[in-house]
């Protein structure tokens, strides 16, 4: 189970890199890229899978408050990414707040994961 959990952590980090990387790359002309949507779904799926594996890990001491907050933020990021991607795909302008919401909230989720002990 530990190997599977660690592989899911790897994919989770890749998802975060997809969201934040494209956000930083488009900082001057904010938009939402389809890969940000994919990264948001990757983060959501791997995060839920990791939460399901926690009880089977040796020496697991989960902080369910932290995990719940991260889950809510991940859902918001995924919804914003879907809305932004649909707007960009149809040629509608993506608001700066929407684009920065996707990247900024993903970065907040990374900060919660790493700084909240």
- 59 CB contacts (<8 Å, ≥6 apart)? none
Using CA atoms, how far apart are residues 46 and 117, in angstroms rounded to an integer?
20
Q: Tens of pLDDT along 67-116?
A: 999 999 999 999 999 999 999 999 999 999 999 999 999 999 999 999 99
Q: Tens of pLDDT along 16-60?
A: 999 999 999 999 999 999 999 999 999 999 999 999 999 999 888
Q: Are 32 and 81 in contact (CB under 8 A)?
A: yes
How far is CA 36 from its chain centroid?
A: 9
- 95 CB contacts (<8 Å, ≥6 apart)? none
Which candidate, 3, 5, 109, places its Cα nearest to that of 51?
A: 5
pTM to 2 decimals? 0.93
């Amino acid at each position: 189970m530990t190997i599977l959990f660690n592989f899911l952590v790897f994919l989770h980090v890749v998802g975060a890199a997809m969201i934040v990387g494209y956000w930083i790359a488009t900082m001057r002309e904010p938009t939402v890229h389809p890969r940000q949507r994919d990264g948001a779904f990757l983060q959501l799926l791997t995060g839920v899978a990791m939460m399901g594996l926690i009880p089977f890990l040796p020496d697991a001491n989960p902080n369910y408050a932290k995990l719940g907050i991260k889950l809510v933020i991940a859902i918001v990021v995924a919804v914003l990414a879907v809305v932004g991607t649909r707007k960009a795909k149809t040629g509608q302008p993506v608001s700066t707040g929407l684009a920065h919401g996707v990247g900024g909230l993903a970065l907040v989720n990374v900060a919660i994961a790493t700084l909240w002990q």
